[in-house]
Amino acid sequence: MPEGLESIASNCFASCTSLQVVAIPSTVTGLGVTVFNDCYNLKEVALPASLRIDGSSLAPQSVIYWQAYESPYWYLDMFQSEDGWTVRDCFAGVRNVELPSAVMDQPVIAIEDGAFSTCKQLTSISIPKSIQQIGQNAFYECSSLQTAAIEGEIKTLPHGMFDGCTSLTTLSIPETVTSIGGRAFFLCVSLNELSLPEEVQQIGPGAFAGCRNLTRLDLPSGINDISDDVFMWAKSLTHVTIPNGIQHIGKNAFDRCASISSVNLPDSTLTIDDDAFQSCSSLENLTIPENLQSIGEYAFSGCSKLVRLEIPASTVTIGNNAFRECSALAQLSLPLYYEGSEERLSIPSQTELTWIQTPKFQILMGFTEQSGQQAPAIELRGAPDSSLTIESAENISGPWIPWATTTISPDGQSVILIDPRKPSEFYRVAENN
């Protein structure tokens, strides 16, 4: 371009797909919007040091490929807002990227959704402290990415951030991160170790699913739930530290974790969802806490090395086929009110069953069949021969009125019908002395 040129119009070089190098003379004082849009082979744009552009001279979402002589950022597609620059796209052939913390004296503050998803040759990325937000699927299927260094004080690793980064081996996560989105590391098959900041309180569904070479992970103490699918297909995982405070183990959470041999669930655990430990074919030792309330369908199906298991008396619900194909299960202890459920639970024929009598009782509101119809009822479960009184009230504050008495039958159950014409809002149960 000739010296003396003062401005370049919007879209001036848009779609010039053979354009590779552009030198802008020092006399240029203004650039239009999307000047080099869709210039896929552009390798260098040299901007004079005197050229300054602020947000007021650019239309929203305007695109500039930057190449100050001393700052080679030609490969970045960015737009400017009042707060700073956002990375929207990247030259597909780039290999090593060190994002700038500022361009033209304005901070680089964000990475948009899918910004690097076309960079199949990207091998390393360095994210500076200036970055405040990273969009979903930012590095989706960057299959050559090996190293990622995140220096910013971000709070969230978003959904699908490294989804499909099959070569990723090294990653540093800032201590400020409190949340890891679903599928954040899905199919990161080369990742074998990772340290999570202690501040992490939430890990989304499928976050580490398919990480087939991940061997160990210590969950931070602030996590309350293990999400669905979170370690599914992590077949090399041998150790997971599950902190006290975990209340829920999600569906397929450890599905096909074929190398894990021992799991110690903390006292805080209340529910184990469907398929949670399905096909954990090396699992030999499993400690279930005394306060566990429910076990989902197929929860331990295919745990072919599990030898003995004790289900506590507090467990109200056990799903169908919970112990299907547990071929080595020699001893199983169940609450008394599951007697006769061997077939439904798919308990192996060789398993020695022990029935646990509980001094406590459970109360369930539901329906029972009466004269071919579903009738409202209270179902009580507990130790045989326990004598109980049921009281009812219109308000939880009372007054409470004795409504019925019953004795738990030898099978550990008792069902009391509720007159649908005279239902009460609240019921409570007390054990008679």
Identify the residue with better confidence: 177 or 318: 177
pLDDT, tens digit, 9 for 90 and up, residues 43-82? 656 666 555 443 333 333 333 434 333 345 667 888 888 8
Q: What is the pLDDT of residue 105?
A: 83
Rg (CA), the chain: 31
pTM: 0.72
Identify the residue with better confidence: 420 or 88: 88
Q: What is the pLDDT of residue 18?
A: 85
Q: What is the pLDDT of residue 56?
A: 31
Pick from 25-34, 76-85, 258-267: least confident? 25-34
Confidence of residue 199 (pLDDT cuts 50, 70, 90): very high
What's the half-sphere exposure (Cβ side, CA atoms, 13 Å) at 93? 5
Q: What is the pLDDT of residue 382?
A: 67
Q: What is the pLDDT of residue 5?
A: 86
The rounded distance, in Å, linking the Cα atoms of 4 and 383 is 96
Closest CA to 78 of 122, 119, 33, 48: 33
Q: What is the pLDDT of residue 149?
A: 95
Q: What is the pLDDT of residue 423?
A: 63
Confidence of residue 396 (pLDDT cuts 50, 70, 90): low
Identify the residue with better confidence: 156 or 407: 156
Closest CA to 82 of 53, 56, 52: 56
Q: What is the pLDDT of residue 55?
A: 34
Q: How many residues does the chain have?
A: 433
CA distances from 430 to 155, 166, 329, 385, 392 (A): 48, 58, 37, 14, 12
The rounded distance, in Å, linking the Cα atoms of 294 and 292 is 6
Closest CA to 239 of 259, 216, 210: 216
pLDDT, tens digit, 9 for 90 and up, residues 409-419? 776 667 676 66
> Which sequence spans correspond to the domains of the chain?
224-356, 361-431
Q: What is the pLDDT of residue 54?
A: 36
Q: What is the pLDDT of residue 155?
A: 95
Q: What is the pLDDT of residue 226?
A: 97
Residue whose tokens read 């354009």: 19
| Per-residue pLDDT at 336 exceeds 90 | no
Q: What is the pLDDT of residue 424?
A: 63
| Per-residue pLDDT at 156 exceeds 60 | yes
Confidence of residue 24 (pLDDT cuts 50, 70, 90): confident
The rounded distance, in Å, linking the Cα atoms of 92 and 109 is 21
Mean pLDDT along residues 257-269: 95
- Per the structure block, which two tokens stand in for 63? 């695109």
Q: Which CATH number fits domain 224-356: 3.90.850.10, 3.80.10.10, 3.40.630.30, 3.90.1150.10?
A: 3.80.10.10
- Dump the DSSP string for 29-97: -EE-TTTTTT-TT--EEEBPTT----GGGS-TT--B---BTTB--TTEEEEE-SS-EEEEEE-TT--EE
Q: What is the pLDDT of residue 244?
A: 94
Q: Are 138 and 158 in contact (CB under 8 A)?
A: yes
CA distances from 7 to 44, 72, 77 (A): 19, 22, 20
Q: What is the pLDDT of residue 46?
A: 62
| Per-residue pLDDT at 41 exceeds 80 | no
Average pLDDT, the chain: 84
Identify the residue with better confidence: 118 or 148: 148
| Per-residue pLDDT at 154 exceeds 70 | yes
| Per-residue pLDDT at 371 exceeds 80 | no
| Per-residue pLDDT at 370 exceeds 80 | no
Identify the residue with better confidence: 233 or 48: 233
Closest CA to 279 of 296, 254, 314, 261: 254
Q: What is the pLDDT of residue 324?
A: 95
Tell me the one-letter amino acid at 53.
Answer: I
Q: What is the pLDDT of residue 59?
A: 31
- Inter-residue long-range contacts of 262-265, CB under 8 Å, 24+ positions, other chains counted: 262/286, 263/287, 265/289, 265/292
Mean pLDDT along residues 235-239: 96
Pick from 91-105, 176-190, 216-230, 367-381: least confident? 367-381
Q: What is the pLDDT of residue 274?
A: 96
